[in-house]
Amino acid sequence: MKAFPHDWKEAPNEALGMDLRDYFAAKAMQAILSNPAMIDKADTQSIEWVVDTAQQVADQMMEARND
């Protein structure tokens, strides 16, 4: 599923859009990094913690869509 689908007949050479999971992960990462309390936690844990957490949030959001 794409986050920003478009009509391929109108623009056949355009990229087909971002995966919805990637969109959710990007939004989660943005929220994590905009929260000072989370930034402190991220500094002690590493950037991998931010990425992993954002992906976990995205997975949960995708799962919730299927319920």
Q: What is the pLDDT of residue 11?
A: 61
Per-residue pLDDT of the chain (67 residues), as tens digits, is: 666 666 656 665 556 667 889 999 999 999 988 887 776 665 566 788 889 999 999 999 999 998 7
Cβ–Cβ < 8 Å for 1, 17: no
Cβ–Cβ < 8 Å for 32, 52: no
